[in-house]
Chain A
């Protein structure tokens, strides 16, 4: 009888447990923690610790490459599972809406003010310049405004503010979907460009404001200011708020890279990056609501007062959601 290798006996004694752990992890990765039986759940930590200690031991006694690399991948996989993400998708989403998002936005009030300053400053500047001399409009001109330029007649401009509900239906949903992807592009860009010290973000936000201001001036000069405000703000409160927040997210990253303080630039960007990302995805969600309001609300509601009512309601709701102090903020 040939004497068995020590390392082989070592493996033979533990092999069954490794396989068991492998099975549990695979099952959990495939169908979720809920798919695990109570028995599996109880066994998991014990099996994990055994595997980890097997790995340490195997490194020092076994020269079987396959065993060592198998244990290495098994332990890494188990480690990432045991210490990694445990909450499921639904819980995370719920936590995001209840805590992560409003808390992050509230904490970022400084960059939010800066971003709002950029947008409204740009808008005010463009508005004043255009009121002094309407030729400025052509400097800021963009295809977004279409044929709603200073050359258009007042009657035409007014007609663009109200629509008959007859051509609704499919057009509306297509419209909202289109705007959805366009605006969220702007929001994501102003976030993602933030790491260049926030400069491109500022330019993007100011440019957005300038377009808005010039557009406003055209209508204002024809005495359509009140009507335009309703047309714009029914969804604009949500949309502009979203873009401002996306800009704030960009500024957070930019600021963290430019002024890292005690940390390294990399660590600083990383610390800011996560909360900035939360604000940015929040902005995309807001833009989704804005597109719904724009696509359906604005086309179907042609009454100025109702439009104002919706605008004010949405402002109150967003402000309350983000900035109202809450007692259970650190519940988890």
Chain B
């Protein structure tokens, strides 16, 4: 009886750990290795179908806003000129809208950032699948195919709405379903490619903006005083692994003081650390982070990678 009660929490923890590892595996499915000519391995992270849909919607919102702005601008300026001016302005607007619809994506993706404003907003960019140069041809191809992916289903949708019931309605509906399949192609293959990507040999990868933040160990009290006060034992530093270190890093960088306090308390309990008079939570967490990182990095140099607190090594 006593035995079971003692083991129950560890079973629970085992489950959590497996769930976490499964999640990490799921995430790593989006990673692709690219070996640069220098022999270094870069990890490219593919954009998820959701991110790409988000970018696409953002781009269309921008396009529609531009459409409206152009139409408004043209109608305002043409008022003064009269009949002939109105016609010329109308033709100009048609031309601008045509160019916008066909070349908006191409213009931005051919540019140096290889991303439309929508993609940049979400943090994505287009890259060549073979790691080589992203050619203008590839950009053209991937964007022309969009005609089929987006406008064919839209056409069928309009037809289905107009024709209502009857045979025509059914034809339009089946056309809509069939062509709609291509719209959801990115969700259905492992590289998240849409038809245009397949034809052009491109894919869409994430290009997050990450700032180099201050090293946490830098902001510590640099005098020997802190080191003396926080003399962790080897056992205390062996309690956690790399996963916990990274969690602690995130806590120190992002969390609110409340969270920091509760995390500090949990660590104190876990490593049986008695709180000293005048010891603040932040100070404790920083010192423990520094100690833990030093310990784990030393092990890393010796080829031991302690993945998490359950990892006892071999």
User: How many interface residues does chain A have, given as a range?
Assistant: 35 or more
A171 at the interface (CB under 8 A from B): yes
Q: Is the CB of B217 within 8 A of A4?
A: yes
> In whole angstroms, what is the CA distance A92 to B296 when docked?
51
Which residue from B95, B138, B148 sits with its C-beta under 8 Å from A193?
B148
B42 at the interface (CB under 8 A from A): yes
* A67 vs chain B, min Cβ distance (A): 7
B226 at the interface (CB under 8 A from A): yes
Q: Which residues of chain B in 62-91 are interfacial with respect to chain A, using CB atoms and an 8 Å cutoff?
A: 83-88, 90-91
Which residue from B128, B201, B210, B217 sits with its C-beta under 8 Å from A5?
B217
Interface of A is mostly: helix
B174: chain A residues at CB < 8 Å are none
Of the listed stretches B2-10, B105-113, B267-275, chain A binds B105-113
A176 at the interface (CB under 8 A from B): yes
Which residue from A49, A85, A170 sits with its C-beta under 8 Å from B114?
A85
Q: Is the CB of B200 within 8 A of A274?
A: yes
> In whole angstroms, what is the CA distance A175 to B250 when docked?
61
Q: Which residues of chain A in 89-139 are interfacial with respect to chain B, using CB atoms and an 8 Å cutoff?
A: 89, 92, 96, 100
* B250 vs chain A, min Cβ distance (A): 8
B87: chain A residues at CB < 8 Å are 169-171, 173-174
Q: Is the CB of A5 within 8 A of B294?
A: yes
Q: Is the CB of B88 within 8 A of A169?
A: yes
Known interface pairs A171-B87, A174-B91; A266-B198 also in contact (CB < 8 Å) = yes
Which residue from B37, B42, B242, B297 sits with its C-beta under 8 Å from A7?
B297
Known interface pairs A84-B134, A277-B141; A69-B210 also in contact (CB < 8 Å) = yes
> In whole angstroms, what is the CA distance A72 to B42 when docked?
7
B140 at the interface (CB under 8 A from A): yes
> In whole angstroms, what is the CA distance A63 to B249 when docked?
10
Q: Mark B210-228, 1 if CB is under 8 A from A, else 0.
A: 1111011110111110110
A7: chain B residues at CB < 8 Å are 293, 297
A1: chain B residues at CB < 8 Å are 222-224
B23 at the interface (CB under 8 A from A): no
B176 at the interface (CB under 8 A from A): no
Find the A residue at minimum CB distance from B149. A192
* B182 vs chain A, min Cβ distance (A): 9
Known interface pairs A7-B297, A66-B210, A270-B198; A53-B40 also in contact (CB < 8 Å) = yes
A65 at the interface (CB under 8 A from B): yes
> In whole angstroms, what is the CA distance A91 to B102 when docked?
21
Q: Is the CB of A89 within 8 A of B111?
A: yes
Q: Which residues of B contact A (CB under 8 A)?
A: 34, 36-38, 40-44, 83-88, 90-92, 94-95, 98, 102, 110-114, 125, 127-129, 131-138, 140-141, 144-145, 147-148, 195, 198-201, 205, 207-213, 215-218, 220-224, 226-227, 242, 245-246, 249-250, 253, 290, 293-294, 296-297, 300-301
